[in-house]
Structure 1
């Protein structure tokens, strides 16, 4: 194991200490190792843009924003080949949450998600990429 020294600003350190307490880590090193693994895993999942994947796109938007719901619906219809399923949730009087399950080449899924998140009055959006595992890969792993 190697020892590394890093410098973090006070606000980031406070957030890290809260995470350590909430999740019950024994020390900062364990928490930072887990966060590094998670970050490296996410980077690896999105590095091969040709690899088929599943994506979970979630975003919150102002449903009263002019033409936004129509534009979002059109975007999903125009990319029907990437869309597996979607769910709409009314959060409050002004805000809606949409969750879309996507499937396709990583680059196309990412591009589609970026387009949706960039729409005006979409207040928050995230995409979680899950690599599509081949059946043969699963069988080999279980042997």
Structure 2
């Protein structure tokens, strides 16, 4: 089934277009138009997926932070206590002397998962 194509014009900064052209070449698209169509389809799917928050959802929050930032660890702990009913697991890793990685796995009603994030 063929669909009628509509022609549009867009303006992009040179650096953005350059990166887009690299992706088009790497992915094997035959034209910018093909790449733009694919990008728009992905944008629509992502938007619809993010908008549909009914029912159970699973999410992962990943945070990289400087642990010396005053009050940050306390705030993260408080948030995790506030959402304890949907937090399945958390992982804390010391990346170096200053930086930490926190991974929190959530499972629950979609709106509550979004609120926690």
What's the TM-score bracket when you normalise by the shorter of the two chains? 0.7 to 0.9
Instruction: Report how far residue 89 of structure 1 moved.
Output: 2.9
Residue in structure 2 matching 1:70, options 74, 77, 99:
74
Distance 1:46 1:16 in 2: 24
Q: Larger Rg: 1 or 2?
A: 2
- After superposition, the CA RMSD in angstroms is 2.0
4+ runs of 1 displaced by more than 4 Å? none
Structure 1 residue runs without a partner (length 5+): 114-143
Aligned to 1:102: 106
In structure 2, do the counterparts of structure 1 residues 53 and 4 end up closer, same or farther at CA, with 3 Å as the change threshold? farther
Report the TM-score when normalising by structure 1. Answer: 0.67
TM-score (norm 2): 0.79
Unaligned runs of at least 5 residues, structure 2:
none
Count residues in correspondence. Answer: 113
| 1:1-143 equivalence runs, <5 A | 1=3, 2-9=5-12, 10-113=14-117
